Amino acid sequence: MKRLSMLSIRTCTPPSMAGSRRTPTTAPAAPEKSVTARQRKTMMQAARTGILAGLLALPAMAQATVIEFSVSGIVAQGVDELHLFSDYGESLVGKPYTMKFLLDTATLAESQSGNIHGASNSTNGAPVYFSGEITMGSRSYNWTLDPDGYASMYLLPTSNIMMQSSGGYGFGQYKVSSMLDVSTGGSTPYFDTAEFEQRIEFKDFVDPWGYSSEFQLTYTAPRYPDDHGAYVAKTNFVGTGTYALWKVREVPEPGQVGMLLAGAALLTAVARRERRRA
């Protein structure tokens, strides 16, 4: 009877109690794994939210000052040996054009002489960040100077604005100089302050100096065999102006954009790693 009683107790022992009497064994940590996955998912969502918020906040970030200056008019004189804007036998004279400059003022040294507010990299030897674009009809040509180029600009209230540049690009094969110089002779007060960060618009103006735009481009390339010297071709023109616009183009600081792009790249890498684990 005593033996049967002990057998009944052993038989009726719940599995949980029976397991508690055995030596503990290592079991898969399912609950801990699920918690880790949940935490990882939360971190991913937070990272996505942070990067999205950063991208949306770009317009509110500190901005670099880039001046955009453009002049539209009519070509008065010019030749186009490179055929950037014309076909063979076609003249540039009389063609409508728009020439646009972009100049980053971050590396320029500013100067003040009377009412003239100027800026240039000629005195400090700093690199220049300048690009230009010319459009004639359906054709356009753009260029970006090498950093060792030269650029300058000035404002003279109430009616004179100038921006010019010179230098090379394309591994030294291209040499270019360009200038936009708008002056109305003071007949109409178009602006009253010499601050660069403003919007100035010239409509239907007459430049007493005759030309408001100038562009000179020389292309040089070696010949093989070199029996006639290097190949040289030029495109240049001057134009009268009918409309001009000076304004500030707001762009994000490179460091800020770089941080956001790095964050996006990190997020992408983590997502790929998670897919591989899954």
119 lies in some domain = yes
149 lies in some domain = yes
DSSP for 235-277, written as a single string: EEEEEEEEEEEEEEEEEE-HHHHHHHHHHHHHHHHHHHHHHHH
Q: pLDDT, tens digit, for every residue of 24-36?
A: 444 444 444 444 6
Distance of CA 100 to the CA centre of its chain: 15
Q: What is the mean pLDDT of residues 188-201?
A: 93
CA angle 175, 146, 72 (to 5 degrees): 65
**Residue 207: pLDDT band by 50, 70, 90 thresholds?**
confident
212 lies in some domain = yes
Of the candidates 111, 121, 162, the one whose C-alpha atom is nearest the C-alpha of residue 145 is 121
- What domain count does the chain have? 1
Of the candidates 103, 91, 127, the one whose C-alpha atom is nearest the C-alpha of residue 196 is 103
Of the candidates 211, 202, 203, 149, the one whose C-alpha atom is nearest the C-alpha of residue 180 is 211
What's the pLDDT at 172? 87
Q: Which of 66-70, 172-176, 183-187, 226-230 has the lowest mean pLDDT?
A: 226-230
**274: CB partners within 8 A, 6+ apart:** 40, 44
7 lies in some domain = no
141 lies in some domain = yes
Model confidence at 98: pLDDT above 90: yes
242 lies in some domain = yes
Model confidence at 89: pLDDT above 80: yes
Model confidence at 12: pLDDT above 70: no
**Residue 142: pLDDT band by 50, 70, 90 thresholds?**
very high
Of the candidates 102, 226, 235, 225, the one whose C-alpha atom is nearest the C-alpha of residue 174 is 235
Which two three-digit tokens encode residue 2?
A: 């005593």
What's the pLDDT at 266? 60
Place of tokens 């270019």: 176
Cβ atoms 143, 176 nearer than 8 A: yes
Residue 189 CB neighbours (<10 A)? 10
70 lies in some domain = yes
**Residue 225: pLDDT band by 50, 70, 90 thresholds?**
confident
202 lies in some domain = yes
What's the pLDDT at 209? 76
- Domain range for 189: 65-253
Q: What is the mean pLDDT of residues 252-262?
A: 54
pTM of structure: 0.68
Q: What is the mean pLDDT of residues 133-152?
A: 97
